[in-house]
Amino acid sequence: MFNGIIESTGTIQKIDAHGESNRLTIEFDAKKFDDIKLGDSIAVNGICLTLEDTTVNQLIFYTSGETNLKISPFHVGQKVNLERSLILGSRISGHFVFGHIDGVAKLKGITSIDKSEIWELAVPSELSKYFAPKGSVAINGVSLTINSVSKSSITINLIPFTIEHTSFKYNQIDDFLNIEVDMLARYVDSTLQNNNE
């Protein structure tokens, strides 16, 4: 489990195909993650992955065929967000993020206001019931607050700190990003459906 507060960014160095699975090699800042060990869970752009191997400045993961069908595809040279899993007793500065991607959003618009940015994201229609103004959402693993909701899109506000300390500063219009809905919203929807049956 994570809390959507990005600790560092990395760069995809290599992608090796193994059938439907991929082996990812990510260059990272070893000073930021000085306590990792094999088998640790690390969120990579919001995807909970198991650390398979590591070198002085590389993290190596496998993504399964099922995962690859759900996520925005990785590419060599891509900047990615990295977060280690929570430790019991950690301060929760974002919201609970599980690292289970629900779908992919498309970046439709960026409006700059002072040094902040308002992003409009086209979201899958089947996920729209989980979004509400002032609710939480994880985009590429970043815990964010929803500004507004329409039938096919949401808007979020990125403050300068978030832009500077995540991979968002490299994103452009028409990019695809991983999206995870708030688990609380999922539970509320499930409870309401069960009560109506």
What pLDDT sits at residue 189? 63
Q: Which of 29, 54, 84 is the last residue of a domain?
A: 84
Residue 172, judged by CB atoms within 10 A of its CB (0-12, 13-18, 19+), counts as: exposed
Give φ, ψ of 191 to 5 degrees. -65, -45
Place of tokens 């507004």: 148
Q: Looking at the structure, do residues 46 and 113 belong to the same domain, yes or no?
A: no
How many independent structural domains does the chain possess? Answer: 2
pLDDT of 73 reads: 95
Whether residue 62 lies inside any domain: the answer is: yes
Range of the domain at 80: 8-84
Which ranges in the chain belong to alpha helices (H)?
Answer: 65-70, 160-164, 183-195
According to DSSP, the β-strands at 21-27 and 58-63 are antiparallel
Q: What is the pLDDT along the chain (197 residues), one digit of tens a residue?
A: 899 999 999 999 999 998 899 999 999 998 888 889 999 999 999 999 999 999 989 999 999 999 999 999 999 999 999 999 988 777 778 888 999 999 999 999 999 999 999 999 999 999 999 999 999 999 999 999 999 999 899 999 999 999 999 999 999 999 999 999 998 777 676 666 766 66
Q: What share of residues in the chain are helix, strand, coil (percent, to 5)?
A: 15, 45, 40
What pLDDT sits at residue 191? Answer: 66
User: In this structure, what CATH number is given to the domain that contains residue 73?
Assistant: 2.40.30.20
Q: Rounded distance, CA 50 to CA 85, Å? A: 11
Residue 192: its pLDDT value, please? 66
